[in-house]
Chains A and B, each alone.
Chain A
Amino acid sequence: MPAIEMNELIQNGLNRAVELMALAAYNSFKFGKRNTIKMVSLSIDDLKEIAEFCYSLGDMSPLAARDGRFVMELVKEPHAVLLIGDKRKSDFNYNCGACGYRTCAELNKAEEVEALTARGPSCQFKNININIAAGAAASMAWRLGLHCRVFSTIAFAAFALNKLEGIDIATSVAVSAAKVDPFFDRHQYWTKEHWDEIFAKEFPTFTRGFFGAIEE
């Protein structure tokens, strides 16, 4: 049997890991004994498109731009992103009130509101179901020793770019087999000057000795 190169081993393992994560998400606990979630593993081309889209939102959302820059780096090493979504309307008939409508029928009849991030209003329990599924996928990734983070930003962008048909709400789980965990302490995506400027703006009193001091 010929030797299998390390890079190939890792990529094959990652492909298998995403399948197991999807399986865990599919089999996770769901309210209402209904399994209506939809899933897709995003391709590298999808992710590059998502990265550019996020970056283009920079004026509106610095966080999206940061995540756009981050995704461009993420795809340079072995990675995978699982997108999980569902429809927004309720088929539970719980009439719980969390969505702001007294009954599920009222929610389902309400006017649909389009946005780049999701279609609303959506059933709280539909949302809980996809987030439990995301948790199960993340839990599986953690057990498999992968670097992992749950991303709303990537999911919102994937929704806007229609990467998964027939969904109104979405979340995503990104995993990586990079040499260093890429998901946390992402200081490289901000310049020190920008960080200092934003911190001073958001927390103006932090460096003042006396709270009555007047800003220069």
Chain B
Amino acid sequence: MAKAKKQEHERRVLILDDEPDYLATVCDCFRALSEGRWQIDTAASAAQAVERLKTEVIELVVTDINMPGQDGVQFIGELHRRHPQLKKVIMTAQASAEKRDASLAAGADLFLEKPVSAEGIKSIFEKLSELLDWKNTQGFQGVLRSVGLPDLIQMECVGQNSSILELFNEQPLGRIYIDQGQIIHAVCGEIFGERAFQKLFTITGGTFELLDFEVPPEHTINRTWEVLLAEALRQREQLAQRAQVSGKNLAADSTAAEPVGQTAEMLICSAAGEVLYNWQCADAAARVTLLQAVAQRAEKLIPELQLGKLDRVEIQLPVGRAVLQPRADRLVFMRVATPPKP
């Protein structure tokens, strides 16, 4: 009953496949199974799909892998960067573990084998319906899968990209300008600069989109993106803890001025061990030694694990937790203590 109610509003779905007969069959079946609730657009190539996405508000994109021009995995990767809130599914007749891993790594939410029976189509439809119904309850919608707002900013900065990250709820909330990997400007309502950047990080319940870069009206941020991000994450964590203690929804409290302090520490050091940023870390030298030791030992494990690069280490402590992020040129460490019980 609940599911039927959820699906009452019309869903916008875009399906890509270069086999017209297959495309027509699947679309007809999905339309019938959705009892008219799915409005389905089609495209025979990634280029056609991109054009559709410029003019239509689409919730879900389902694509084949083997297509003329850009293949489905590359297309999903591009979509994931440009429209992180969009739900993306790969559906292929030639499923393999390698393709599955590549698809999920590129940002697909689901990797499915093309159905070959009516029962299979129904099963796929149900999976896609579940995905359409799935919503994030915290943070920005881009948190879908593993890519959240901090991840996206990191990706843009590490990749030395230039882009504008627009955050919006029912209406635009603000923008973060990234120029060749550096955050140079942020605006949130009447607020500019670092304060705007920090405020955008504390707002929940919205979504975000990556836009092509345009030169901002002014440059209001000078500090490095690592420091900005570290401080923003710390403040967001503290706000979340405070909200948890007080039982409030963070979204309802997004205009709060300063977070209540919680025991925490943060340290960023260069690969050589030079401390670049220290917040409440009593013995920075000891922490640097620890970070280097863990990062070096982990580095040795990477080749035999065959799991790709190490993104982060999350440490669940008896009280609180810590995160260690090893990067090529620096190490980031943050520890957050659990707030005292009221």
Please say whether chains A and B are actual partners in one complex. no
